[in-house]
Amino acid sequence: MRVICPYTEIAPATREALDASGYPWAEAEVTGDTGYWMLLDRLWRQREDFAIVEHDIIPAPGGLASFEACEHEWCSARYPYLAGTYPGLGCTRFRAAIMARHPDLMDVVATMSNETHPPKSWCTLDAWMRAVLQQRGERQCTAHPEAGHPSRSPAHGCVPGYPPR
């Protein structure tokens, strides 16, 4: 399984967990507000299975193996986020079949924005991708070991009240 770690700076615990996973992994620098979108767009167009483990996510032991063994085409591990857990892009896997059914996904996502995030913003990619795929009838499997996420909130402070003071 191809494992990609998008990063601005990889946390030591993320690096340790990826090394311990037994899966080869590659770093992918994602700079600026749209670097992450550009990476995902390129991966989506290649139509090959891939897993993402973001630079501040700590995949659980056996978590990546559970993705590979799962029959579903879109799998995510929940991780601590804000006041609960969230199955975002932080630790997720997509199979080629879902990309083939939705070849325009990243083009559609590229047009989406809100009052605090411009189109292609790294911060909202998971929400937009999830919304479009679910609207199109796709099911996200979240029956995987929970990953770690020490920060619990977006790095740029777009959610009022987070991080809590």
- Within 8 A by CB and 6+ apart from 50, the residues are 1, 2, 3, 4, 43, 93, 94
9-47 confidence digits (pLDDT tens)? 999 999 999 999 999 999 999 999 999 999 999 999 999
pTM of the model: 0.94
As a whole number of angstroms, the distance between CA 109 and CA 1 comes to 25
Cα of 142 vs its chain's centroid, Å: 13
| CATH number of this structure's domain 3-135, picked from the four choices 3.30.720.210, 3.90.550.40, 3.40.50.150, 3.30.70.270 | 3.90.550.40
46-93 confidence digits (pLDDT tens)? 999 999 999 999 999 999 999 999 999 999 999 999 889 999 999 999
Q: What residue spans define the domains of the chain? A: 3-135
